[in-house]
Amino acid sequence: MKDEACWEVEQAMRCSAVDVFEASGRRADWCRTLERVFKTYDFLVLPTAQCFPFDAGVTWPKEIGGRRMDTYHRWMEVVIYATLAGCPVVNVPAGFSQHGLPMGLQILAPCHGDLACLQFAYAYEQVTQWSSIRPSEAIVTTGEQTNGCPCV
């Protein structure tokens, strides 16, 4: 197994029943918070990542925007919110970096709002016509650095 998977198992083995119970309570608090948010807003729209794509040879970015990532979870923690609450989420394209690297948006809907989430994503696709937008191949292969992450 890769080092990060071993680390996950080791961390889990250190958790007591009380730790799991307390974590479950914090998760329930988060779910209730989102329920309140969705009483005011139909959807939440967040970026899909904290950095642009990086070289496949890099296990995970150790720093983004000058901020050290203390675990391999940090570089992708923006996706945790929906997963933790069990909310439906769909990712849609948002644009490209100056080097042609893609970035997306995640659309979160309330629990059981799967159809509404898909309908919103479809409407976004129809309005933006993202499927017809492509960066230049020459730009994508520059191999430049973005936000401390090596890019493809």
Structural domain tally of the chain?
A: 1
Q: Is residue 112 part of a domain?
A: yes
Q: Is residue 9 part of a domain?
A: no
Where in the sequence is the domain holding 98, given as residue range(s)? 41-150
Q: Is residue 5 part of a domain?
A: no
Q: Is residue 48 part of a domain?
A: yes
The answer to whether residues 43 and 107 touch, using CB atoms and an 8 Å cutoff, is yes
What is the model's pTM? 0.77
**Between residues 14 and 99, the one the model is more confident about:** 14
pLDDT in tens, 12-63: 999 999 999 999 999 999 999 999 999 999 999 999 988 888 888 888 889 8
* Of 78, 92, 84, 89, nearest in space to 50 by CA: 78
Q: Is residue 17 part of a domain?
A: no
